[in-house]
A and B are shown apart, each in its own frame.
Chain A
Amino acid sequence: MNQTSKFSRSRRRLLIAGACGTVALGIFGAASWGELTGYRASWVERVIRDNLPGIDLDGTSLQAFVKDILASERMQRKEVKVTVFADRFVPWLPANISKARNGLEGLERYVLTEYLIGSNFFRVPDPKRATIVYSGMIVACRNPFIYMDAAFGNASG
C-alpha cells in the first residue's frame, strides 16, 4: 500500500495506545489520590474493627478518633502515607517484604493503641459488655493499667 503519512500504521497504533495509557493512568492516579484521604480514614477504622471483633464501638466517637489520629504528627509523615497507600494498592509489598510488613505492623499497633488508651476500653470492667467510647487523646496519666488489676482483677481476654 502507498504510505500517505510519514508515520507507519504500527507506530501510529503504538502512539495512540501510549496516549490512552497515559490518560488512563492520569485518571486512575487522580481518582486514587482523591480517594486516598478517604481511604486512610477507612483504613484506620478497619484496623480498629479488625482488632476489636465483637466489641460495640460508638460510631460518632470512632469518627472523632479517626480525625484525631489522621491529624497526628506520625500519620502526617510521608513514609506513613506511603505505608497506608501500599497496604491498599500494593498489598503484595507488605506481604512479601519484611521491612514494609514491620512498618505496617508498627503503624497498626500505634493506631489501635491510641484508640484503646483514649477510650474507656481499659476503664470498664468488661469491654465486651459495654459500649466503647473514645473521649480524646490523653497526655497526662495515660496509663490505665497501674491500678487495673486491683480494680478489675486480670483484665486480659
Chain B
Amino acid sequence: MVQEHFDVVVVGSGFGSLFFVEGYLSKRPAAKILMLERGTFNSHAWQLEQNRNSPILPGSTFRTDAAKKVWNFTIGVGGGTNCWYAQTPRFHPSDFRMRSKYGVAQDWPLDYDELEPYYLAAETKMSVAGSPDMAEILPRSAPFPQPPHKQTAVDAIMRKAQPQFHVPIATARASVADAGRPPCCASARCNLCPVNAKFTFENGFTNLREHPNVEIRTECEVTHFDHANGSVSAAVYKKGGAEHRVTGELFVLGANAIHSPAILLRSGIDHPLTGVGIHEQVGYHLEVLLDGVDSLDGGTITTALNYSLYDGPFRKDYAGALIYFDNRWPHGLRKEYGRWRQLTPLVVVVEDLPQDSNRVVLDDDGVPKVLHADVSEYAKRGIQESLTNIQKVLEPLPVERIDFKGMRDTESHIQGSLRMGTERASSVIDAKQIHHDVRNLVVVGSSVFPSGPNSNPSLSVAALSLRSAALIA
C-alpha cells in the first residue's frame, strides 16, 4: 500500500464534515486535507435526470430490526445537502438545557448563546432567508442574509393573532436571486429542487471543490481506524476492491449517525455509549379545511413555523411540538368549485428522547444494524397532547374541519448515537466534539446530539462543526 499522510483526514462529506473543513481552513489555510467519501459525486443535473440523489440506496448499507422505521440519508459527495429540504430554524435556547430545566434527557455541554455566532456564520454561508420576527423566539445578533419568503393568507391571520408564536420560517432556499442561486418558486420537491434554489454542496462549496489543499476522494468506504494509546494513526478504507490506509494528524468522523458508530465499533474504540440512543423526531400530517380563506399563495414549500406547543414547563412531562405551516397540496386541492385552495396542510413534529434500547450495533459480518423498537412514551404523550391542543392553536382561522392524514415514515434525520457531553460516563465526545478516549478524533454531524430538539438539525450541525473547528484548529 502507498502510504499517504495528511494534516486532517475526514470521513464523510455531509454537513458536519464540510462545515468543519470550512472552519478549519479559515484558521489553518495551509492544512492539507483529505475527505474520504463512500459515494460518488452526483451532479444536480444527474440527480434531476435520474430522479434520485444517489445511485446507492441508503437501506442497502445497513440492517434494522424495525422494518417499518425508515432512516433516510444520501451516500454521495455532499451527503445530506443533496436530499435535504433546506429548512433551517435554529434550536431553541431551552433545547440545550433539557435536564436542568425539565429533568429529562441531558443538557448539552454548551448553550445557545455560545453557539449563536456559529449559527450566524452558517446562515451567512448558506445565505439563509428569514424574518427579523424570528428573533423574538430565537435571539440573533445580526439580520438574516436574505429576506423572508412571501407568506400565505393563513400566515397573515395567524401572525396577527399570535405574533409571539407564528413566524416566517428560516430556510436555505433562496428568497431572492443571490449567491448563484435563483429564488425558490415553490415547486415543493426540495429533495430534488428543479431550479437549484436550495443550498447544496455543488452550488455552495465551490471553494472547497477548488481548494488546492483539499482532496475529495470518492468511492472510498472507510471500514475502521487504526489506533493505539488514545490516538488514531490511520483510516483504513476500501476502494476498487483493494484496501488502503492513510495516516494523519487529526481525524474527523462525519459518516452519519448509523455509519459513524459502526466505524468506531469495527475499530474497537469501545466507549460503552457508542451507537446508543439513536433517534429522530416523530411527525404527522394534518389537513385543515378552511371556510372562506384562500391560501397556498406563499413563496416556498413551508412558509411559517408555529411555536405555540414547542416549549414550556409541560416538557417535563411530554414532548413539545413544532408546527410547520405548509404551502403545498400533498392531499390535493379541494374539489369544491371555487374552494380549491381553502385549505392549509400542517406537519407537526414532536421531539423524541434518546433511549438506551435504541442503538446501532454490528451484525456478525460487520454491517451496522439499527435496533429501534419504538419511540419513547414521552414522545407518544407529546403526540397526543399536540393533537388535543391543535384546535386551540388554530382558533384564529375559520376552520371547517381538521383531518388527520397519517404518521410520517421519517423526518429524514438520524441523531444521537455518539452524544456529546462533559462527562465520559454519560457521553462519547466532549464539548469540543473530541472523543473522550481518542484525543485526535473529532466526531461531527447529528450523531453528536445528546437530545433531539424538534427543529431541523442541519443548521445546528453546521454551526457545531464551525465551533468545533474554531476551538480545535
Chain A residues with CB under 8 Å of chain B are 51-53, 105-106, 108-110, 112-113, 116-117, 139-143, 145-146, 148-149, 154-157
Contacts and interface: CB of A to CB of B under 8 A. Distances in A.
B298 interface: yes
Contacts, number: 69
A84 B445 CA distance: 46
Given A110-B332, A143-B328, 18 more contacts: A51-B335, A53-B337, A105-B335, A106-B332, A109-B332, A109-B335, A113-B329, A116-B340, A139-B187, A141-B194, A143-B327, A145-B341, A146-B298, A148-B297, A149-B297, A155-B294, A156-B341, A156-B342
A116 B336 CA distance: 13
Contacts of B299: 146
Interface string B181-201: 000011111000011000000
Interface residues of B, number: 27
Contacts of A117: 333
A92 to B, nearest CB: 21
A109 B289 CA distance: 14
Given A51-B337, A53-B337, A143 B332 contact: no
Given A146-B298, A156-B341, A112 B335 contact: yes
Contacts of A105: 335
B334 interface: yes
Given A143-B296, A146-B298, A149-B297, A108 B189 contact: no
Contacts of B316: none
B339 interface: yes
A53 B342 CA distance: 19
20 contacts: A51-B337, A52-B337, A106-B331, A106-B332, A108-B335, A109-B333, A109-B334, A110-B332, A112-B335, A113-B333, A116-B340, A117-B333, A140-B195, A143-B187, A145-B296, A146-B297, A146-B298, A146-B299, A148-B297, A155-B294
Contacts of B195: 140-141
B188 A143 contact: yes
Interface string B289-303: 000001011110000
